[in-house]
Amino acid sequence: MPREQLGICAEGNLHSVYLMFNANEGGESQLRPCLANVAQYLYELADQYADSAFNAFVAIGANFWDHLYPGSRPTELKPFPAMESGNRDAPAIEFDIFIHLRCDRLDILHLVANEVNEMLEGLAELEEEERGFRFMDSRDLTGFVDGTENPKGRGRQAVALVGDEDDAFRGGSYIHVQKYVHNLSKWHRLPLKKQEDIIGRTKQDNIEYASEDKPLTAHIKRVNLKYDNGEPMEILRQSMPYGSVKQQGLMFISTCKTPSHFEKMLHSMVFGDGEGHHDHLMHFTQAVTGSSFFAPSLDFMIQFDD
């Protein structure tokens, strides 16, 4: 298996920095080796900052991939699947490059983010920057534990990394990023039981409702999808809360060996089950971005480092 970028399957951290770049026109021939150097550098920093659990990955936008790597393309790579129904909106706002940095020390992240920005100087412009943080015991700002359904141990690689199905891109991962802005004042006015019904779990103890007690509009009901044979459609979530008092929410990040799992989950949230049962959590949070990327293996990227 080619060496995957370490941030794709890493366990959670205390802090994160998300950098979204758009490439300057005509600089692809220089950008390819530059990004290879960035990816290699971030890979090596995982050893240098091992005590702080540093990890990272570089991902290339679906709409930019062919400009950067015209020779081959991941089989299922496509633009973000924008969706809208009623007051539920999942817009597409694409970027060319996504740099995902995480660590248990914010000062190291700040240092590395500046270094990466300098490495890309003249080749790409920083369009968006967001900083995430662990909230309490890995909870979303709604107060509920986030990522409970994530695969564990080696299961993380099995879910997140491309394997035999696309040999040229083994060890890579399809990445979807959405920035959600929460309406917390509206959320906090809800009684506890109403909040729990919307999520499908208890808030304090994080106990999932029994199947028969789960409303069809519960968030968990809408995103825990299965194939016809009963096999779960899993993704590895690398999401973290972000923001200030003025604007705050969740940076939702899905990594998976196929984009179809995320697309089906988002469709289930926005459009529901065909019988009017959409995800009622979307009454309290609004997606303001939606971007599709592919994070290739480190070995794929460093083919282009000269």
Q: Is 299 a catalytic residue?
A: no
Q: How far is CA 175 from CA 160, 172, 189, 292, in A?
A: 9, 10, 34, 6
| Residue whose pair of structure tokens reads 């794929």 in the numeric block | 300
Q: From CA 150, how far away is CA 156, in angstroms rounded? A: 8
Tokens encoding 159: 């879910």
* Contact by Cβ (8 Å): 284, 183: yes
The active-site residue out of 96, 140, 146, 197 is 146
* Contact by Cβ (8 Å): 260, 183: no
Q: Which residues are catalytic?
A: 146
